[in-house]
Amino acid sequence: MTRSVWLSDTSVRRKGDPPPQDGRVTLEIRTSDGPDPEGGEVIRTVAYPERRLPPGGGHDEYRAARKQGVRAFALWADPHRTQVFAQVVTKSAAKGAPATYEVLGAAGEPLALVVREPAMTGGRIRTRWTVQPAGAQPVTGLKGRAFWWGVWWLISPIQLAIMVGSLIAASGDVARMPRRTKWRAGDRVVLDYHSGVGDSFVLDAVADGWDERVTASLLALLDSYDSWLGDAWDAVDRTRA
């Protein structure tokens, strides 16, 4: 059975609603467990992701570090931070170079390694993501299809004009770069990161055997590279109320 995970922000469920004032984490990673007896979907929250600020630092220091590829997340099992579900730490990162992240369990046990190799490095045009669960073979996916990258580059002069206009007039909509990523074991797709409802992206665990802590952490990493305009979930200051 395919299991999907995606990011949801409960603080903006209804337009104009203020964020909750009890300090809880409002971001949720949700999953679909398939159809229910009523014919709908069984949806539950897997984890509550939150970035971890550097020791002695704040929002600005985190954003400076993330520009170098650094990511640090806690995925909480509950919105009030009483229990850790999983953790993401950076093993190595440098701007424009491959970055290696480690997914850890609540007690710090290693669950997986995730390597992001940026586009235009190592003779590759597309960004490459490699996921290696503990004790298993790595799987690799390339960001976007080559065809759609060709289309995007053809219209990039128009996109640049729209982007400049949107920054000046606070309007306009720039087309996203191709983002769909499929990981394969041989010829078989095992993970699929693709567009969902609205602007959200969904990570499907197509093959069985994936640890939910790993897929939730991978989704948080993928979505942290959501935009070159700086509005990825971990780039936004979400100071506790």
**Average pLDDT over the chain, rounded to whole?**
83
The span from the CA of 130 to the CA of 122, in Å, is 14
Q: Does pLDDT of 176 surpass 80?
A: no
Long-range pairs, 96-99, Cβ under 8 A, ≥24: 96/121, 97/69, 97/121, 99/69, 99/70, 99/71
Assigned CATH for 3-143+179-235? 3.20.90
Give the pTM.
Answer: 0.83
Q: Does pLDDT of 137 surpass 70?
A: yes
How high is the pLDDT of residue 12? 55
Q: How many residues does the chain have?
A: 241
* pLDDT tens digits, one per residue of 76-126: 999 999 999 999 999 999 998 999 999 999 999 999 999 999 987 776 778
Where in the chain does DSSP place strands (E)? 3-9, 27-35, 41-51, 73-76, 84-92, 99-104, 110-117, 128-133, 139-143, 181-185, 188-195, 201-205
How high is the pLDDT of residue 59? 93
Give percent above pLDDT 90 in the chain. Answer: 57
Residues 6+ apart with CB under 8 A from 217: 73, 75, 86, 87, 88, 103, 111, 112, 114
**Strand pairing category for 139-143 and 181-185:** antiparallel
More confident residue, 85 or 10: 85
Q: Tell which residue, 9, 91, 20, 60, has the closest CA to residue 235.
A: 60
